[in-house]
Amino acid sequence: MHRCNKCHLEFQKKRTLEQHIQYIHKSDFPSVKKILILGGGFGGVNILRDIQKMFQDKVNVDISIVNQENFFLFTPMLPEVASGMIHPRDISIPIRTFCKRAKFYQAVVSSIDLEQKLVTITRLFDGKVHALEYDYLVLALGSVTNFFGNKNIENHSFTIKTVEDAIGIRNHAINMLENAGQTSDPDLQQKLMTFTVVGGGFAGVETIGELNHLIRESASRMYPNINREKINMVLVSSKNGILPEVSESLSKKAMKYLKNHGVKVLTNTKAIDADEDYVLLDNNKKIPCTTLIWTGGVTVDPVISELKCEHEKSGKVQVDKFLRLIGYPNVFALGDCAEIIDTATGKPYPPTAQHAIHQSQTVSHNLNVLLTGKDKMNQFSYHSKGMMATIGKRNAIVSIFGYNLQGIIPWLIWRTYYVLQMPSIGKKIKVILDWTVDSFFKRDLTSYGQIKKKNLTKVDVKDKVPSLKELLFPDL
Ligand SMILES: Cc1cc2nc3c(=O)[nH]c(=O)nc-3n(C[C@H](O)[C@H](O)[C@H](O)COP(=O)(O)OP(=O)(O)OC[C@H]3O[C@@H](n4cnc5c(N)ncnc54)[C@H](O)[C@@H]3O)c2cc1C
């Protein structure tokens, strides 16, 4: 609905409101300001929700959001999807359910022209390139996996960034159980039952924790031919410990839990090469295995690293204290694609969902200030009140109000926090019901084969820049 700010009448169509203002109030329709949000993850979706509320009565504010999937993904729970503990639908929410008045484009952002204030997007269903104009732009495109140029590792590893990745890992793990259950060759069985996860951050720790339980529990329950001694779960961390995002004592608790549950944690170690049946470490040791999951580094999408603005060395864009791109006061950046410095410590804030959510509040407020001229812009400053991570079946670590806890209670806190993030009461009830029902049954071990990744070629639009205007979307 479009509301007239003068007499508060509501109109179905924007055009009718324009005519009403023109003929009844004898004034011109105020010029429309376009806000364009790129990325429908933690940063993007939270800004969308905030600014729709802020500008709900403002017909002269046009909001659009672009994301390559048509859903928001709660990434911290991907490892639980990979272990079959929860359904993919429980951690994905269609972006359109957040769009009260915004337009949604399911497309790949293929280029951003900061001078012309134009963004080109590639539509998924026909590969057509279109351009979107903006007055205010929000960059919230997250991160992509970094293989540091190692093609062998890239070709022989799984990643855990998308729902497809998680389903792929689950199917592969179950296939490895089936294969190991059908061989009496002890070396082959050990190779099939060795799972190597590289990366000691959230993604790596949560993935090894979940996988460890999936494999050990399933082998005991369903695969009598698998020798338990042959199950080998390895976590490789290049740092001195794991989970650098949490306090040292909490990180030690997580490490102890993993070790007590049969995970080998190799610290100060790097994986430097891989093939389909081994991983090579920088100490020249080879781990014979048929599963490598790579969470060893992230970088930014080329659409971000190639932007003509200031970047830090990994390609993230640099922003000022108001989260505006340096040199571009109408462009904001947040989350994993931006380097945001904590002025108190001089160090960058960690790339976590929690930080992206808090940054989104600052960006929403500052957008409101820019558009209305009311109030002052806020500087971003945030001190984490707690951190959570799952480390195994119904087990998590949580640091909250100075307390470091581990076990089922933190895990319940974690799930409650997640349910509170759900956009609608309907989705909240569905997810709670799903989880409750699932907790009474054993894990489903059906493998649906491998899901092939679609490799969408990004359209190189560099040559077409002068004619971008021609590609503008008609008002959809
Ligand atoms: C397995 C895993 C576990 C994690 N666990 C935790 C945890 O326990 N706690 C925690 O705080 N953090 C955790 N994180 C980190 C957290 O998910 C990120 O820090 C957070 O998602 C960053 O938010 P964002 O908005 O910057 O990016 P994202 O949430 O990643 O959103 C970016 C969006 O942009 C879209 N996109 C990217 N490129 C394009 C393009 N070219 N065109 C169109 N769309 C595009 C993506 O599809 C995505 O929807 C985890 C991450 C992973 C992968």
pLDDT of residue 156: 96
Ligand 1 atom with the shortest distance to the CA of 458: 41
Give the pLDDT band of residue 342 (cuts 50, 70, 90): very high
Report which ligand 1 atom has the smallest distance to the Cα of 301. Answer: 38
User: Which residues are near ligand 1 (CB < 6 Å)?
Assistant: 39-44, 66-69, 73, 75-76, 78-79, 108-109, 140-142, 160-161, 202-203, 206, 301, 303, 335-337, 351-354, 356, 389
pLDDT at 251 over 60: yes
* Per-residue pLDDT at 462: 39
- With bands split at pLDDT 50, 70 and 90, how would you rate the model's confidence at 362? very high
Residues 6 or more apart whose Cβ sits within 8 Å of residue 94: 70, 71, 72
Q: Retrieve residue 246's tokens.
A: 């949490």
Mean pLDDT taken over the chain: 89
**Do residues 367 and 375 lie in contact, with contact meaning Cβ atoms separated by under 8 Å?**
no
Residue 183 Cα to ligand 1 midpoint, Å, equals 39
**Interatomic CA distance for residues 316 and 337, integer angstroms:** 5
In the predicted model, is pLDDT for residue 178 greater than 80? yes
In this prediction, what percent of the chain has a pLDDT beyond 90? 69
Predicted pLDDT of residue 309: 96
Closest atom, ligand 1, to C-alpha of 360: 25
Instruction: Report the alpha-carbon distance of residue 333 to residue 320 in Å, rounded.
Output: 10
Convert the pLDDT of each residue in 430-475 to its tens digit.
888 888 887 888 878 887 765 444 443 333 333 344 444 454 544 3
User: Which of 46, 64, 65, 67 to mutate for ligand 1's pocket (most ligand atoms within 8 Å of CB)?
Assistant: 67
Q: Following DSSP, what letter does each residue of 145-204 receive, concatenated?
A: E--TT-HHHHHT-B--SSHHHHHHHHHHHHHHHHHHTT---HHHHHHHTEEEEE--SHHH
User: Which ligand 1 atom sits nearest the alpha carbon of residue 337?
Assistant: 26
pLDDT band at 386 (very low <50, low <70, confident <90, very high): confident
- Distance in Å, CA 357 to ligand 1 centroid: 11
Q: What is the pLDDT of residues 45-66, one digit of tens each?
A: 999 999 999 988 777 899 999 9
* Residue position matching structure tokens 């984490």: 384
Residue 334 alpha carbon, nearest atom of ligand 1 = 26
Rounded Cα distance between 307 and 302, Å, is 8
Tell me what the mean pLDDT of segment 156-180 comes to. 96
184-242 pLDDT, tens digit per residue, is 999 999 999 999 999 999 999 999 999 999 999 999 999 999 999 999 999 999 999 99
d(CA 361, CA 427): 23
Residue nearest to atom 27 of ligand 1 (CA): 142
Quote the pTM value: 0.88
pLDDT band at 341 (very low <50, low <70, confident <90, very high): very high
Supply the pLDDT for residue 449: 62
Find the 227 Cα to ligand 1 centroid distance in Å. Answer: 38
Q: Which helix (H) or strand (E) holds 109?
A: strand 103-113
Look up residue 456 and give its DSSP letter: P
Atom of ligand 1 nearest to the CA of 303: 41
Structural domains present in the chain: 2-145+300-383+454-471 (3.50.50.60), 151-297 (3.50.50.100)
Q: What is the CA(170)–ligand 1 centre distance, in A?
A: 20
Find where tokens 């993993």 sit.
Answer: 258
Residues 412-422 have pLDDT tens digits of 998 898 888 77
CB 362 within 8 A of CB 320: no
**Pairwise pLDDT comparison (456 vs 352), residue with the higher score:** 352
Mean pLDDT, residues 390-406 taken together: 88
Closest residue by Cα to atom 41, ligand 1, is: 109
